[in-house]
Structure 1
Amino acid sequence: MSRNLDEVANSKRRRLRPGKVSPCRPVPNHIPRPPYVNSWQSPGIASGPEVHDEKGIECMRASGRLAAQVLEFAGTLVKPGIKTDEIDEAVHQMIIDNGAYPSPLGYGGFPKSVCTSVNECICHGIPDSCALEDGDIINIDVTVYLNGYHGDTSATFFCGEVDDKARNLVQVTKECLYKAISICAPGVEFKKIGQTIHDHADKYRYGIVQQFVGHGVGRVFHADPVILHYSTYTDLDALLAICWFSYSMI
């Protein structure tokens, strides 16, 4: 969801300015890479949803579990004065220590191992030399590649004392996410997910960022189905019995 840029300008937080991006961090040679690493072509979204067998589901659970653990750890690092590049360094180390590859690194040329999106940066922020300040909010988006499967998750964290407007934005966004998750089941039309989110956001007069979507995840980082998180009346597809997708609310 979005926040009016005028509100950001009038708040105590500074407008974002890009900092210095450090070199890509190395990954040990024994850790398997996703196919897109070292490719000059952007992978894009693979066509056709992935349906996973029992072994695939166990691999998905393992990669998702590690991603969740890394995200929880990353959240403990959020405090005034820490640089987003320092968060990237710590996340990178934890991922490779667990024998996994940080999925964002090298994806379409992305230079870092995690996405750190501060304040009005909607998503896919690149960690750099800028330090967090008191009152910032930061979304940390973690994806790991383990045993041939990606695990993808994100959350928004408060840095120090955050104003009520920012707290309300994060709270309503979280409510939208869990309301959407609660209706997911085999046979549910994708458009109902978007409608559920849109209705709840609209209730609190928040806008929906329509340029980004939810997506399938598994052996492929970004796969079908594409999940819109706003109202639409053209999508008649439905969830399959064993269909995994990543939904990061922004």
Structure 2
Amino acid sequence: MIELKTPQEIEAMRPAGRFVASILHDLQEMTHVGTNLLEIDDFVRRRIESRQGAQSCYVDYAPDFGTGPFAHYICTSVNDAVLHGVPYDYALQDGDLLSLDLAINVDGWVADSAISFVVGQNQDPEDLRLIRCTQEALAAGIDQARAGNRLGDISAAIGEVARSYGYPINLEFGGHGVGRIMHGDPHVPNDGRAHHGYRLRPGLVIAIEPWFLKTTDEIYQDPQDGWTLKAEDGSRGAHSEHTIAITDADPIILTDRSFLEH
């Protein structure tokens, strides 16, 4: 069921959005060659435990697309892994493409966001191009998140950017409703038909999350951890995500990090 938030409820979601944004910002600043994925996970754990009213959305999360409960505080996907990456004992190497996906509940409201970046100095232009595509697709999707438009307008805008870059598009996993829970209705595919689908209304809060792989739209679940989704052909992936609220005016980016970058 699709739920609409009141203006007061959207305001109540802002602390969760700022908290998630601040952690992702800090993680990108502190992550370098040699940083262990378990260090990243522990950093998030400590931040959550130090914040009154904050709870992880991932620990003990057990949806039908995973194998057993997720036992960590953040998703860390490296190189050919693109979604649901389980942190493990791995020290990041120069040139690794890292995607971080984080959802936290603060005082009963959830925010969800993701970033991708290349670790170290060995930054492959093709990796940077892939990341840039997800960022531009996210911006295009957010721009269509306006009352009176259709859900398909968001999806079509995302897909158009991906096609302009030449990347294939997987429709199995995409954006979703956000509120009291992390994953709610509606599903927001990363491609679709403009002017079709659910009519967007003020109060709808959704996570928009373009993710693409360089040369395939086929993924598989890592049999070792039962969660991490990887490219079938071993190509690299990137992922960008924001939680946004649709209003009578411009969409509100609840997980905006720009205020931290000055």
Q: Give the TM-score taking structure 2 as reference length.
A: 0.74
Give the drift of 1:220.
1.4
In the alignment, which residue of structure 2 is the partner of 1:201? 162
> Amino acid of the residue matched to residue 55 of structure 1?
Q
1:214 lines up with 2:175 in the alignment: yes
% same residue: 30
Aligned to 2:16: 63
Query: Partner residue of 2:25?
Result: 72
Cα distance in structure 2, aligned partners of 1:94 and 1:166: 29
Work out the CA distance in 2 between the residues paired with 1:235 and 1:118. Answer: 35
- Residues 156 and 194 in structure 2, CA contact (< 8 A), matched pair in contact too: no
**Following the alignment from structure 1 to structure 2, what is the Cα–Cα distance between the partners of residues 231 and 52?**
25
How far, CA to CA, are the matches of 2:76 and 2:123 in structure 1? Answer: 17
1:23-70 Cα shifts (integer Å, max 9, x gaps): xxxxxxxxxxxxxxxxxxxxxxxxx11211233212211111111111
**Which residue, 100, 116, 123 being the options, matches 2:76?**
116
Q: Which residue of 2 aligns with 1:246?
A: 207
Q: CA deviation at 1:113?
A: 0.4
> Are 1:126 and 2:79 counterparts?
no
Please list every run of 5 or more consecutive structure 1 residues that lacks an aligned counterpart in the other structure: 1-47
Paired residue for 2:3, among 37, 42, 50? 50
Among 92, 102, 114, the alignment partner of 2:56 is: 102
Code of the residue aligned with 2:57 in structure 1: it is S
Contact 1:77 1:87 survives alignment (8 Å): no
Question: Which aligned pairs between 1:1-250 and structure 2 lie closer than 5 A?
Answer: 48-99=1-52, 100-108=54-62, 109-160=69-120, 161-232=122-193, 235-250=196-211
Once the two structures are TM-superposed, the CA of residue 234 in structure 1 deviates from its matched residue by 9.9
The separation in 1 between residues aligned to 2:73 and 2:181, in whole angstroms, is: 17
Between the aligned partners of 2:145 and 2:9, the Cα distance in structure 1 is 20
More strand by share: 2
- 8 Å CA contact retained: 1:142, 1:154: yes
Mapped to 2, the partners of 1:119 and 1:135 lie a distance apart of: 9
Query: In structure 1, what residue type is equivalent to 2:27?
Result: A
The Cα RMSD (Å) is: 1.5
Q: Say whether the 8 Å CA contact 1:141–1:155 is kept in structure 2.
A: yes
Q: Contact conserved, 1:78 with 1:158, CA < 8 A, in 2?
A: no
Q: Which runs of no fewer than 5 residues in structure 2 stay unpaired?
A: 63-68, 212-262
Matches of 1:112 and 1:214, distance apart in 2: 21
Matched position secondary structure for 1:245: strand
Q: CA deviation at 1:209?
A: 2.1
- Quick check: which has more Rg, 1 or 2? 1
Q: Give the CA deviation at 1:117.
A: 0.8
CA offset at residue 103 of structure 1?
A: 1.0
Are the equivalent residues in 2 in contact too, given 1:70–1:95 (CA < 8 A)? no
Work out the CA distance in 2 between the residues paired with 1:178 and 1:184: 10
Contact 1:70 1:91 in 2 (8 A): yes
The separation in 2 between residues aligned to 1:139 and 1:234, in whole angstroms, is 31
TM superposition shift of 1:159: 0.1
